[in-house]
Amino acid sequence: MQKRKLGNSGLEVSALGLGCMTMTGGYGARVNRPEMIAVIRGAFERGVTFFDTAQIYGPYANEELVGEAVAPFRGRVVIATKFGFKYEFDNGVPRSAGVDSRPATIKTSVEGSLRRLGMETIDLLYQHRVDPAVPIEEVAGAVRELIQAGKVRHFGMSEAAAQTIRRAHAVQPLTAVQSEYSLWWKRPEAEVLPLLEELGIGFVPYSPLGKGFLTGTITPQTQFGESDLRSRIPRFAPEAIENNLALVRLLTAMAERKQATPAQIALAWLLAQKPWIVPIPGTTRLARVEENIGAAAIALTAGELGEINSAAARITVQGERYPEQLEKMTYL
């Protein structure tokens, strides 16, 4: 597996990471814990050294899973987690109750993450979503104190607007920004990516395969269960899927030429955008991990990239990427 550095920080990770969110739900019913541990360990054996989790995944269960899975090789991987949500308890079960990035909350929540992950220091700590009630300078200052205390190594933000990133970076330099980015969601190109290049910050695209859509395995007939986030996303309504399959056909055509899969072309396209971009496709299957890793070996020529970009520009993606209430929490 090739390695990449996230911006100017010197933090080196595998060119493709592994997003672990769906290993404790998100796209359906909870999956088998021993099997998910095996997937994480299998990914490491195949060269993946960058694993992404968050307090809200579960909540908490995902950090516990990742902590157990990486225990045999913890010092040889980079673990990223996130803070920024408050929780209410329903019969003892924690449920998200909105954003909360007050400095005291950050420090308390980091102690919990360290315990669940079985770590003394978090490698990369993201603010999961911007909290409009807390000045970003206070958030960055709290993380700076955690770094000085040896509890965090690197600071990141997720789904933040360019001006907010700049303000945070002035207080505590950011190592990475994580936001959705793929051929069917290119908003970061407008303001975020140019700023990251200017400031020397790495970029970590989540949902680089469009929540599974760009793999070519989803059709208008696909049924999503009630517990599957995609059942509430307008972009996955049958009529939207029918329209958006034009992107899959584009990827499939290039995949046939390159003896690859649509998913591999989608990831190779991302990797070709900047050398400091590290996608984190998520999966619950080791076979998919192996397929995704294969994308790092695919070299798209300038001509092929031009073909993809030109064809994609003629496709209007139908449907919002999130339900309205979730989209309101982004790019603040």
- Residues with catalytic function: 57
Count of alpha carbons within 13 angstroms of residue 87, beta-carbon side: 18
- d(CA 81, CA 63) in angstroms, rounded, equals 8
User: In the chain, which ranges are continuous DSSP H helix?
Assistant: 33-45, 61-70, 103-117, 136-148, 162-171, 192-199, 238-258, 262-273, 286-294, 302-313, 324-327
Residue 303: name the closest of 260, 257, 252 by CA. 257
Residue 240: name the closest of 316, 158, 156, 179 by CA. 316
CB 98 within 8 A of CB 85: yes
Residue 331: name the closest of 177, 186, 200, 162 by CA. 162
Backbone angles phi, psi at 92, to 5 degrees: 85, -5
